[in-house]
Structure 1
């Protein structure tokens, strides 16, 4: 394991990983259907500091979708994205996020778009594991890819997919950058969320298989920030 080879494991490993991720492209990388131009993407703020969300029950997939549609309409966009290290009220009604203190800080990037939208692999890799995490508040169908750049092994997680995305997939299957990995699921399949992709970069899976925490409590945030660096280091969506 990479973490055992170096002194000050997280400091050096994360610095190298983020640096390597940034070298993989000179511009933004598509992660949804390549027919959707980057000009049709816009940022969205689902944090607890967003005053426009006051009085909106964001835990309701219908009300959440309505807010997302409003943002998309205002920006003449088809995809709303963002959310890394965002503190959210989105998880307030799910018991699974009350374990070991409230977990409400998001560890990945979300891409809110219509169910059925294609998910595109942003970096070549092979299937490490997959699973339907179907308890309320979880990811629903999830795929984890394993990547190798030089001596660095790391993983990317794709959550809230359709059931069809995991029906015929196989462990070890190779995906090149730009290939279709799956499609976005509906709220009933992605376990009570408006349709979106949860995309997360993970250095050490800690033994997880087909799953990994996507939301942290404040108490554990220092660890998760190091183990799950900003996905935008790879995607470079800085517009």
Structure 2
């Protein structure tokens, strides 16, 4: 297995612009528990996006916070809603490899680092990413890719591969359902050292047997988001 560089070290002299225009911490966010231990999910029909949406935004309204956070390499119970997460080996992909930021549709997203548009695609279909943009960054000679999923369709209308995106530039937004892959509005944010040949797409969820493989490829994106609650 290839030894990957330390993201924290590569970012040590690089000022980061907050992904959502403000750093996320306990003052403006709550953790969203979508693990099998959350028995409240038994009462939610996750295949009904309206009901799922009411559950997510009901929690945010009760908390008085702007953002809900879904964690990095978190075991999830919500992926049974779509056949997208089945695998050819008859196991199931339910380990979340990025960070989710649940917020209102239309919430802007900003480039945390200088980069270029590597690729983009509308990964349409129930439970998929919907509109997706991947940026390519260079940090001290190392390439790093960042993925932004569940965007608005309009975000793909005016970008081109190779376009420079400056740090702090608002270049996309959280999309509404159903165009965002038919999810309650949120951003799936993920980092990759290697895209493994993917274009405008990359797995955001893996099976238990793939955890070590993908942890080596996908560093923790929290450094670009804020001091997230546990």
> TM-score, structure 1 length as denominator?
0.87
Describe how 1:1-239 pairs up with structure 2 within 5 A.
9-10=2-3, 13-14=4-5, 16-21=6-11, 24-25=14-15, 30-34=18-22, 39-100=27-88, 101-239=91-229
Contact 1:131 1:142 in 2 (8 A): yes
Q: Name the SS for the 2:80 alignment partner.
A: coil
Shift of 1:34: 4.9
Distance in 2 between the 1:30 and 1:42 partners? 17
Shift of 1:151: 1.8
Range that drifts further, 160-169 or 228-237:
228-237
Q: Deviations over 1:37-73 (max 9, x none)?
A: 9833222222122233232223432222222222212
Taking structure 1 as reference, are residues 223 and 55 closer, same or farther at Cα in structure 2, changes over 3 Å only? same
Taking structure 1 as reference, are residues 219 and 120 closer, same or farther at Cα in structure 2, changes over 3 Å only? same
Where in structure 1 do 4 or more consecutive aligned residues deviate above 4 Å?
Answer: 33-38
Range that drifts further, 31-40 or 175-184:
31-40
- RMSD over aligned Cα atoms: 2.2
Distance in 2 between the 1:72 and 1:93 partners? 22
Distance in 1 between the 2:111 and 2:84 partners? 29
Match of residue 5 from structure 1: none
Shift of 1:22: 5.7
> TM-score, structure 2 length as denominator?
0.90
Distance in 1 between the 2:20 and 2:63 partners? 18
Shift of 1:17: 2.4
Distance in 1 between the 2:28 and 2:223 partners? 21
Distance in 1 between the 2:37 and 2:45 partners? 14
Shift of 1:23: 5.2
Q: Name the SS for the 1:115 alignment partner.
A: coil
